A and B are shown apart, each in its own frame.
Chain A
Amino acid sequence: MLRPVCPLGAVPRGEAYRWAIDPPVAIFHTEDGEVFAVDDTCTHQDASLADGWLEGAEVECPLHASRFDLRTGKVDAPPAKHPIRTHRAEVIDGVIHVEVS
């Protein structure tokens, strides 16, 4: 079920929003205008990916250097070993909606 999270305007391009549900979800608005939602907590050690570095459709964990593909959740470099969960995200009438997987 898609749930409304926040207005798209509240998350500028290149920025992220941490949706504080349990477990928290990070919502990214890329420079290209795409919106992605993934689990916020790095699968390696406790760090919020919403605080990470967004580059294209990848986010780099702010604590170490693991990068996650926001489309697939796959990790491209250790130390993280496990992918993150991805969630369907859509913008409906200017509001970001997310369906938690």
Chain B
Amino acid sequence: MLRIAIVGSAVAGFAAARALRRQSFDGEIVVVGAERHQPYDRPPLSKDFLTGACSAADLALEDPDEDLDLRWRLGTPAGRLDPANRRVVLEDGDEIRADGVIVATGARARRLPGGLADAHTLRTLDDAIALRAALRRGGRLVIIGAGFIGAEVASGARSLGLDVTVVEALPTPLAGPLGAEMGAVCAGLHGDHGVRLLTGVPVAGRNGDAVELADGTLLPADIVLAGVGAQPNVEWLAGSGLTVDGGVVTDEAGATNLPNVVATGDCATSFNRHAGRAIRVEHWTHAFEQPAAAVATLLGRVVPDRPNVPYFWSDQYGVRIQFAGHREDGDTVRIVEGDTEQRSFLAVYERDGRPVAVLGMNQPKLFTRWRRQLRAPISSPAP
């Protein structure tokens, strides 16, 4: 291969570029990105960046001492993949010919319909710059969605002195990733810190300066943030012949149904050994680590045999939440250390008596021990 195009310039795209060089690819690498910024790290956008504790320069993923020799094509989204002619066509009509393509177009923030379509979202650096400016002006913030993004923004905004209300349509926030029991524990942090949390009520729309709920409640708002999840950027692949089911369907190592095209990061629905099926993962660690396997697949190298145990963390209200593994309904949860009331504990999720996931709140050391245990080929209780 002489030239490889990486479509996507965020965490997964940049990790793919780095992996190509680390795996001795010395041809040309073209990185296509919809955003105008050089690759940056996203997790701080909802944390230290919002409160002003770090700047945009601190977010750069590139190491100044690292020369990856990349050709950048930033600020223009890809419009079409044309595998028969080995090219990627950009939305501005430009085209990039490439022997191999790495699809890493990630996901975008989901927007609400109707009068709330212009609510802030938080996914990109530009989103964060706009939200940060709004928070600095102060006032009443209404956050729609009590997921991790919503919770982290609530925490940051509260520390800046704003009046914050979080609205969640589900009866229990975070019930999907954590289950209802632990979701309720994490959601308790809002009340601990003077943030109002309303659950089980969908949002109806906007009513003047207020957000109106389905039960008629009006929440006056100077700033509205929609934290209602993300959707994969895969529309541009229509007609390419790639199999898409939610995300681009791949095996564990990023191989798609087309030769010389691999997919990785948030836009890929990949078989996951730990989950036992194909899943689309939106976690930073996945976007950072998985591209190395996709690159090995593309270059025809040996793919490292590492079980990919999903992992994510969240910092909110001075509390560190960490989760590893894959939870399913019916798993039992056991507190093995600490106390949920004290906001310091370790919970283990078990299925058929085997640990399948672990949740830590302010227990980084013990959490790491369990996380490594889950990574081991045969899980057994931690020492």
Which residues from chain A sit less than 8 Å from chain B, CB to CB? 45-48, 51-53, 60, 62-65, 78-79, 81
Q: Which of B12-55 contact A (CB under 8 A)?
A: 18, 41, 43-44, 48
16 A-B residue pairs with Cβ-Cβ distance under 8 Å, sorted by A, are A46-B48, A52-B368, A53-B369, A60-B368, A62-B365, A62-B367, A62-B368, A63-B313, A63-B320, A65-B285, A78-B18, A79-B41, A79-B61, A79-B288, A81-B63, A81-B64
Bound CA span A78–B65, Å? 12
Residue B289 is within 8 A (CB to CB) of chain A in the complex: yes
Nearest-Cβ distance from residue A42 to partner chain B, whole angstroms: 11
Interface footprint category on B: 20 to 34
B53 and chain A: residue at smallest CB distance:
A46
Contact residues of B: prevailing secondary structure: helix
A46 to B51, CA, bound (A): 14
Give A93 Cβ to nearest chain B Cβ, in Å: 29
| B365/A64 in contact, CB under 8 A | no
Closest residue of B by beta carbon distance from A45: B44
Provide the B282-314 mask, 1 if CB < 8 A to any CB of A, else 0. 000100110000000000000000000000010
Interface string of B58-77 (1 = CB under 8 A from A): 00010111000000000000
Please, how many angstroms separate the alpha-carbon atoms of A62 and B321 in the complex? 12
Contacts of B65 in A (CB 8 A): 81
CA of A62 to CA of B48 in the docked complex: distance in angstroms? 18
Nearest Cβ on chain A to B59's Cβ, whole angstroms: 10
Residue B273 at the A interface, CB < 8 A? no
Shortest Cβ distance from residue A72 to the other chain B in the assembled complex, whole angstroms: 15
Determine whether B115 belongs to the interface, using a CB cutoff of 8 Å to chain A: no
- Contact A53 B63, CB 8 Å, known A63-B364, A65-B289: no
A51 lies within 8 A of B43 (CB) = no
Q: A51-B364, A53-B372 are in contact. List 16 more A-B contacts (CB 8 A).
A: A45-B43, A45-B48, A46-B48, A46-B315, A51-B365, A62-B368, A63-B322, A63-B364, A78-B18, A78-B61, A78-B288, A79-B41, A79-B61, A81-B63, A81-B64, A81-B65
Which residues of chain A are within 8 angstroms of B41 by Cβ–Cβ distance?
79
Nearest Cβ distance between residue B266 and chain A, in whole angstroms?
A: 17
Residues on B with beta carbons closer than 8 Å to the beta carbon of A63? 313, 320, 322, 364
Which residues from A are CB-within-8-Å of B315?
46
Q: In the assembled complex, which residues on chain A have CB atoms less than 8 Å from the CB atom of B367? A: 62
Query: Hey, which chain B residues are within 8 Å of A45, CB to CB?
Result: 43-44, 48
Which residue from chain B places its CB closest to the CB of A44 in the assembled complex? B41
Query: Which residues of B have CB within 8 Å of A79?
Result: 41, 61, 288
Chain B residues 58-101 with CB under 8 Å of chain A are 61, 63-65
* A53-B367 Cα distance, complex, nearest whole Å: 10
